[in-house]
Amino acid sequence: MATPPMPPAGWYADPSGRHEYRYWDGTYWTAGVADGGIAAADPPGDPPPPARQAMAGFSPAQQATAGFSPAQEPATSAVPPLPGEISPVTPLPAGLTPAAAGVPPATGRHGRNWVLAAGRTQSRHGRNWVLPAAIVTVVVLGLVTGLVIWAPWKGPPLLRPTGLAAGTSTVSSVAFHWSGPPTGPLPDKYLILSNGAVVGSVPGTVTSYRTTGLAPDTSYQYRVVAERGGQRSARSALLVVRTAIPPVSAARWTGPWTIDAKITRGRSTIHGAKRWTGTWLADPRCAVGPCAVRLSVAMNGHSFKVTMARAGAVYRGRAQAHVFPCGTGANSFPIRSTLTIRIVLTTAQVSNGAWLASAWRGTMVVVSPYTASGNYYCPAARQTIALAGSP
């Protein structure tokens, strides 16, 4: 029966399952192993039992019954057949050699050496026979050809990105980085995933990423995937990063507000309620972000508008309006007062991706001049009103 060809020396999947790769010297499994591109030494163990040797098509007993001798051994038996446990799946990434694992390139599984050269070959049991150089060449070429047909090579493994860690974050951006493969070729690129969708990519030589245009004080989740030759690695571990919290002064003051107004000074100079609620509307003068506001005020049955200039979290404005009348009932008449308003934003929060004011406090000072009408008059007066606003 024809002897099956053997693969040449090289790194193959470890048949024992203890490691990723083990070195095959062309005849036997050696102690050379590798995991994650790092070489080490681990003896493969005892030789396979006769039953497994028989399955592989080779055993000392079969040689004996065949009447083995150097003179009778056919030239194609110069290299013993492949042990049954060999499973060439994936070659080790380029750059890892037998020497890197401390394995002599021609050392067999049990310390025996095989020498395949023109003129003489040493058998497994120490017997020698002579082969012409032409036959040796044909045998080697046949082994290589058979290996290409029988076990085509696969590409080096595409490793999963590891070591994801957050970098510096701002109110609208986050950054993070990861580790490239410890050995072997780099990927063509890295894909950045957020919530399962690809949101960006970087070349395989880059191991960091920054994304902008994010909402402040918000958490985001990212994973990284390596890609080479159109193939993707497993996804990295999940990384959660959060944008920074802006100051309250950066909040946008906008929308309707429920206000609570309470007269704290000058209560005796007016008639009617000393405390009330109402609705004010803040209309920013810009499309996004903080800026001056046009404030629409409804107070004590009167309405007016005032432009509030911004200085950080503080807004100031002045207007003239009728707020408190002089007299009561049919004998009352309006007083044109000067109003000075000061508002301070106190808290803010994210709403629909924008940083918005969520509460404010302030004061309104009402200054009224001496006013008379017919037989009635009101002296000059001044009131201070405490204000509080909530969305």
Question: What is the per-residue pLDDT across 100-139, written as a single tens digit (0 to 9) for each?
Answer: 545 444 444 444 333 333 344 444 444 444 445 555 454 4
Residue finishing a domain among 182, 212, 242: 242
267: confidence class by pLDDT, cuts 50, 70, 90: confident
Whole-model pTM: value is 0.56
Is residue 328 domain-resident? yes
Residue 3 domain flag? no
**How many alpha carbons fall within 13 Å on the CB side of residue 377?**
7
Residues 272 and 206 in one domain: no
Please tell me the predicted confidence (pLDDT) of residue 46. 53
Share of the chain above pLDDT 90, in %: 48
Which of 86-90, 143-147, 208-212, 327-331 has maximum average pLDDT? Answer: 208-212
Can you give the CATH number for the domain in which 225 is found?
Answer: 2.60.40.10
130 domain-assigned:
yes
Q: How far apart (Å, rounded) are the C-alpha atoms in residues 264 and 259?
A: 15
The pLDDT, as a whole number, for residue 96 is 54
**84: pLDDT strictly greater than 50:** no
Parent domain of 51: 10-150
In sequence order, what are the residues at sequence separation of 6 or more whose Cβ sits closer than 8 angstroms to the Cβ of residue 322? 302, 334, 335, 336, 337
**Claim to verify: residue 206 and residue 274 sit in the same structural domain:** no
What token pair was written down for 208?
């960091």
- Tell whether 1 is covered by a domain: no
Residue 272 reports pLDDT greater than 90: no
Same domain for 24 and 131, yes or no, is yes
Q: Are residues 26 and 94 in the same domain?
A: yes
Does 314 reside within a domain? yes
Q: Which tokens is 302 given?
A: 């009167």
Same domain for 31 and 113?
Answer: yes
| pLDDT-based confidence at residue 184 (cuts at 50, 70, 90) | confident
CA dihedral for 62, 65, 69, 72, sign (positive or negative): negative
Residues 270 and 351 occupy one common structural domain: yes
156 in any annotated domain:
no
Instruction: Let me know if residue 358 belongs to a domain.
Output: yes
Same domain, residue pair 385 and 267: yes
**Average pLDDT of every residue of the chain:** 78
**Longest alpha-carbon distance in the chain:** 147
Question: How many C-beta atoms surround the C-beta of residue 289 within 10 A?
Answer: 11
**Residues 102, 199 within the same domain:** no
Tell me, yes or no, whether 276 and 349 share the same domain. Answer: yes
Give the residue, 13 or 314, on which the prediction is more confident. 314
> So what's the pLDDT on residue 378?
85
4 inside domain: no
Residue-wise pLDDT tens digits, 133-171 = 555 454 445 554 444 444 444 567 888 999 999 999 999
* Last residue in a domain, options 104, 120, 150: 150
> Is 257 found in the same domain as 230?
no
Q: Are residues 257 and 369 in the same domain?
A: yes
Asked whether residue 246 carries a pLDDT value surpassing 80, the answer given is yes
Please state, in angstroms and rounded to a whole number, the distance separating the CA atoms of residues 246 and 130.
85
DSSP letters of 239-306? EEEEPPPPPGGG-B--EEEEEEEEEEE-GGGS-S-SEEEEEEEEEESSSSSS--EEEEEEETTEEEEE
- Maximum mean pLDDT: which of 322-336, 352-366, 367-381: 352-366
Question: Total structural domains in the chain?
Answer: 3
Tokens linked to 28: 């036997």
Per residue in 310-334, pLDDT (tens digit) is: 999 999 999 999 888 887 777 788 8
pLDDT for res 68: 34
Are 137 and 188 members of one domain? no
Contact 215, 243 (CB under 8 A): yes
- Of 150, 177, 204, the residue that ends a domain is 150
The confidence score (pLDDT) of residue 187 equals: 95
* pLDDT score recorded for residue 317: 97
Burial of 290 from C-beta contacts in 10 A (0-12 / 13-18 / 19+)? buried
pLDDT (0 to 100) of residue 241: 97
